[in-house]
Structure 1
């Protein structure tokens, strides 16, 4: 197969098939077609000479093996691919992996933080320490894979010391008044998405990608086949969200549930109109968890509702004082009911 372009990559990729040997796919690390063909020819020559991979692996072989064997099958495949491209651009596709040093990794950290790394014609801007640490985690994973699965020699790097210090996890959530103002200032299509986010705690990608076949209004459930943690998640539909979903006629419940047209601009406009400071879409997920905690949900319940892998991740909400019992979904839904209804329900409970 000739060299080809891969979506999301500025480099040419190669796919080499030799009878009796596994197919080899990987990046040439080159944006110039002529140079890419030379890399392809060199790689094929070495394979025909009896080497399934070059004896001393370079960045290109290491990353290609990790991607083909493992990375492309993960839920975070887009993040992995982007990080490997950036790492390859910095270290050089022809650099032998054994030659990677602590000093080179520290240079990478500095350039990544300063927004000085280019991949092809694209320059990546300044990123947070957590993003740098994620890149380093993928570098470590690729090197470890090359060593454990392919017997390649890898450098002994001081990973703990190379990890950048991260600020304490940011937890910003909306108060009821802020939530009301946000809804009032939002476009109708965004209002529905905001209600879905606050009543389910789902991530933005899950909500914007939601399709009608995942929704069962009769049983009041939403099924997410695969979350960030690569596991299915069942979400209960509370009355406020059911009312929003019910506005769509049964005959029109096909395809995407929500209209995401110009979503980013429309949400930003809603935040501005509401006068909210330092507020992002992901904060609606924090709002769900924080309101659930304030209404009495225990951490285990919130952990299940958010699809966290462990309660330790949910501990960021431990400082919020609970005072009632029910499921996380019911509590947030109750908070969004009209105040008159809430007072009647409260008096009956007493």
Structure 2
């Protein structure tokens, strides 16, 4: 036996075959007992014939996943896992892993759709389930096949092209309470996700460098966001009335973290007063990115500011920046014209190149070729 990451592993050779597996315990005495059982099954010839996954249940999979994998991801992702696992456990119950089929998983998806869940939410639950099965295959050696891999994803349509015009922004701010106005304005100039904004604490604010550090991100990778004057002014005004009861930048009157449902409710009231339709809190982030694209900021920078893991996610803003794309090709024309190129080619005597340009290049430009 040997230890790996605090857990005992067995490494046994029998009749020329090697068995190496986790004993799933840090207790040496228990590990020895499990190893002895494995050796007995090898001698009796039943170890390799035993159906893998039959002695493991779905609750065991979820518990192990939440205990070993969940702590490695962001707090928001952990909360998402906890919510998903609650619904998954309710549906699959005490079933053994080998009995979970693609058909059963598809049935779960149908039931989730029937209660009104959005495709993106269902896909998140499927992603967690698939991750758990993959770990059970690759690291825990509980299974050989991931049943989720044979189930199609839900088609998502989350790309709302809805952003605020300047007039709508003014109207929305005029109809918002002071605390909501600060949040709206700050997000229009930083593009934070809702959870990122509501979780922002003062120790992540660097006024001297004019940046904020976002630790709890969707993709698990921290990112630093530069602050413009508008965002800084909001922070400075809030810094003058910092609550001794809270380290949170945008907090409630009680000094606690603002509940996202209360934020959503306040935004609904404000936008109804302003006469703005089909707009959500996420639209503030979308407005931030769209305005950057309109101003000619390249997609790579927008991707970094938004914290997108894959720049493909940022491609949705490409059609907002045609001028910056034109700049990209116009730069090739700087100090360049075909007449000059033709003369340089003739002087350098580049044979075939000179001949091919010779009958086409004129001071007036291109003429049709005769062949």
**TM-score by structure 1 length?**
0.71
**1:84 Cα deviation (Å)?**
1.8
> What is the CA–CA distance in structure 2 between the aligned matches of 1:323 and 1:156, rounded to whole Å?
47
What residue number does 1:312 align with? 312
> What is the CA–CA distance in structure 2 between the aligned matches of 1:216 and 1:313, rounded to whole Å?
29
- Are 2:304 and 1:295 aligned? no
With over 3 angstroms needed to count, the CA separation of the structure-2 counterparts of 1:128 and 1:47, relative to structure 1, is farther
What residue number does 1:41 align with? none
With over 3 angstroms needed to count, the CA separation of the structure-2 counterparts of 1:71 and 1:178, relative to structure 1, is same
Higher mean displacement: 188-197 or 205-214: 205-214
What residue number does 2:4 align with? none
Q: Is the 8 A contact 1:214 1:224 kept in 2?
A: yes
- Are 2:227 and 1:237 aligned? yes
What residue number does 2:29 align with? 20
Tell me the alpha carbon deviations over residues 197-221 of structure 1, each in whole angstroms, 9 at most, x when there is no partner.
1100111111112122221222211
What residue number does 2:207 align with? 217
CA RMSD in angstroms, aligned pairs only: 2.8
Any idea what SS the aligned residue of 1:318 has? Answer: helix
Q: Is the 8 A contact 1:65 1:146 kept in 2?
A: no
- Are 2:149 and 1:159 aligned? yes
What residue number does 2:275 align with? 275
Residue correspondences, number: 275
**1:168 Cα deviation (Å)?**
5.6
Q: Is the 8 A contact 2:61 2:136 kept in 1?
A: yes
Q: Is the 8 A contact 1:102 1:162 kept in 2?
A: no
Q: Is the 8 A contact 2:102 2:150 kept in 1?
A: no
Any idea what SS the aligned residue of 1:223 has? Answer: strand
Q: Is the 8 A contact 1:295 1:322 kept in 2?
A: no
What residue number does 1:258 align with? 250
What residue number does 1:88 align with? 89
Tell me the alpha carbon deviations over residues 31-76 of structure 1, each in whole angstroms, 9 at most, x when there is no partner.
xxxxxxxxxxxxxxx989969x996211011122222221232121
What residue number does 1:197 align with? 187
> What is the CA–CA distance in structure 1 between the aligned matches of 2:58 and 2:294, rounded to whole Å?
49
> What is the CA–CA distance in structure 2 between the aligned matches of 1:251 and 1:192, rounded to whole Å?
13
> What is the CA–CA distance in structure 1 between the aligned matches of 2:158 and 2:207, rounded to whole Å?
39
Compare CA radii of gyration and give the structure with the larger one.
2
What residue number does 1:27 align with? none
What residue number does 1:63 align with? 62
> What is the CA–CA distance in structure 2 between the aligned matches of 1:229 and 1:323, rounded to whole Å?
31
Q: Is the 8 A contact 1:98 1:154 kept in 2?
A: no
**1:321 Cα deviation (Å)?**
2.5
**TM-score by structure 2 length?**
0.67
Identify the match of residue 183 of structure 1 among 144, 151, 173.
173
> What is the CA–CA distance in structure 2 between the aligned matches of 1:290 and 1:108, rounded to whole Å?
37
Q: Is the 8 A contact 2:54 2:96 kept in 1?
A: no
